[in-house]
Structure 1
């Protein structure tokens, strides 16, 4: 598997991963009714440095890296990760997160923060903790999950230096 910057040739594969995840409404606090252009505009935002995890010609996952905030908060990175359903449980998210930590350090970020990790996304919470992220805050009932109703979200943080 190779993790590399996304190219325009990857947009259809990125859309195939990101669109159903956003539409499901279970892990991202983003509108669930975005059309294809809206999905790509979100994921490929000019503020996002976007990567794909590929095995040969097959895109297994994608992530973006960005500054979490502007100005005085621009030294803290933020990322979003998505893995293709057929590739889940195969270490793709771990590899992408590890790659993003290296890339964030290369870009001079001093920390990484995830602002809204939905508590019911237990696989992600456990993985981020294994990779050294701490839950530094719980946002009570901050996410309206389509199955579980109002659930907590976590703010997770890791120092990079």
Structure 2
């Protein structure tokens, strides 16, 4: 989607601002294993889907979890003194997300999509797998917060 273009550039900008090394050992090191697992879980959940009507739900799940994520992340980044210098992990991104509503123009069409019981159950299962994956990531981040201090 055009309105979500550029997120990867914001992320890479933040990595530079935080002076993180971007090399293969850093990316595939043990520190980032839980984040990779999270991404693989999401990809796996999406690949299991048997119907395109269900795939439409996936970006909606990402948007809804993003709202919760930013609600907690932005104050943390601000307390750490990085809110003004970051783009992806800061209020810059949060404000952009809050100012667009995914599928807003197609809302009526989305509400008119029919699901039989099997497709509905599969859709609910996708949503649950995605939320479980986000919970896994949140648990990891909370564990890291405890280890490295109560910021």
Q: Which has the higher contact order (CA 8 A, sep 6+)?
A: 2
More strand by share: 1
Bigger Rg, structure 1 or 2? 2
For normalisation by structure 1, the TM-score amounts to 0.28
For normalisation by structure 2, the TM-score amounts to 0.29
More helix by share: 2
